Amino acid sequence: MTPIVGLTMARIAERRDALTSTYMEAVQMAGGIPVLLPNMVSQDALNAVDGLILTGGGDFHPKWYGEPNRGTRMETVSVERDATEMTLIREAGRRGIPMLGICRGIQALAVTLGGTLIQDLASPIAHSQSAPRPEPTHTVEIDPASHLFTVLGLLKTVRVNSFHHQAVADVPPGWQVSARSEDGMIEAMEGQIGGTWSLGVQWHPEDMVQTGEGSALKIFQGLIETATCYHVQGRRN
């Protein structure tokens, strides 16, 4: 069987949602079927999926983690998207649906599950690169004790791309940091929800899959493997 993976979408204008095709292509290359989840969806949309990807995009409203604005780019905030993703994350966690958060997606996981964000980074590393999107520009160190280490084929370091000005400050209760950049920034986190591994990464592996970057595809293959197990166990409603 081929697992179905739901992907959240960016709110790019009033009543208009969109998603870059590289996400869908990466899911297909990894062996899944991508379906799009617009920013009006209820938790019932998860009845049809075996995995969930929280995609990149604008900033999360700081009210969701109890802070005033300290550098959040409010012009990029969509409270409709925030609310949709938080609903999906909570319900996916309740059902044990595996999740992958990418860039904003790792932040969505953190905020929804009880973590916090750095609202505006100050770092010697360019976390918002000017190089083309598929080009890796800095290195992250993988924790050898992590699930991510296994997913990546026991790689201790990977080169990644970077397009963010916010990052996870505190991971949610029960989650662990699985990768950091050279400046100590959290680059990946993971946790088991409902007995299923879920993962968030701060970089954009979907943009590197087409270039043949093996570690990028492995991240999606790891989700597809877990989503397949979810389906085979008959857990989809």
Q: How far, CA to CA in Å, does 224 sit from each of 100, 112, 117?
A: 10, 23, 28
CB atoms within 10 A of CB 61: 18
* Interatomic CA distance for residues 190 and 176, integer angstroms: 6
Spell out the long-range contacts of 187-190 with Cβ–Cβ below 8 A and sequence spacing 24 or more.
Answer: 187/140, 187/160, 188/106, 188/140, 188/142, 188/146, 188/148, 189/106, 189/109, 189/110, 190/146, 190/147, 190/148
Catalytic residues: 103, 204, 206
